Amino acid sequence: MPDPIAEAHRQWSLRWPEHADHMAAVTSVMRAQQLLLSRIEAVLKPYGLTFAAYEALRLLAFTRTGTLPMGKMGMRLMVHPASVTNVIGRLERRGLVGRAPSPDDRRVVLATLTPDGRDLAEKATLALNESGFGVSGLPAAQAAEITDSLRPLRLAAGDLD
C-alpha cells in the first residue's frame, strides 16, 4: 500500500517546498495518534472504558487517598474542565467514582475512586501493559526515542516549562 503521507509530502514539495517537512511531521504524528488510540480503545473496550475514562481512573488510583479535586485532574490530564466533568459523570453513574464537595472548600469538587473503580483500573492497566500500549512491536529503546523526539515539539508548543 502506498504511503499517503509520502505522497502528500511529494505534492507539498512541488507547491510549498519550504513547508513540506513540517506538514509531513504533523500529519505523521496525527496519523500515529489515530492508530494508537484505536489500538488502546480496543484493549479497553471489554472494560467499558474509553482512554479518557481510563486515564481518570488511573490518575485517581495513583493518589494516596484515591481522591483529587476535579480542577487538579483537568490540569494533570491536560484537558478542559468540562471534559473532566463529563468523564467523571459517566464513571460516577457506573459506581466507579464518587463526587462530593470538599469539606475544606465547598467550591472545590472532589472525585474519589470507589473500590470497584480501583479494581477496574488495575485490570485495565494489566491489559494495557500486556498489550504494550499499542506499540508492542517497538523495542523499549525505540519507544523512548519517540518520547525524546517529541519533547522539543511539546516545548515549542508551550506544553512544558
CATH of the domain at 78: 1.10.10.10
Question: What does the pLDDT read at residue 160?
Answer: 86
- Domain extent, residue 73, equals 48-132
Q: How far apart are CA 91 and CA 117, in angstroms?
A: 8
- Our count of domains for the chain comes to 1
Q: How far apart are CA 113 and CA 120, in angstroms?
A: 10
Mean pLDDT, each 10-residue run in order, the chain (161 residues): 93 97 95 95 98 97 96 93 95 98 93 98 97 92 94 91 79
pTM of the full structure: 0.89
Burial of 42 (0-12, 13-18, 19+ CB in 10 A): exposed
Kindly state whether residue 60 falls inside one of the protein's structural domains: yes
Kindly state whether residue 83 falls inside one of the protein's structural domains: yes
Question: What does the pLDDT read at residue 161?
Answer: 79
Q: How far apart are CA 134 and CA 38, in angstroms?
A: 9
Question: What does the pLDDT read at residue 15?
Answer: 97
Question: What does the pLDDT read at residue 41?
Answer: 96
Whether the CB-CB separation of 131 and 38 falls below 8 Å is answered with no
Kindly state whether residue 29 falls inside one of the protein's structural domains: no
Question: What does the pLDDT read at residue 142?
Answer: 95
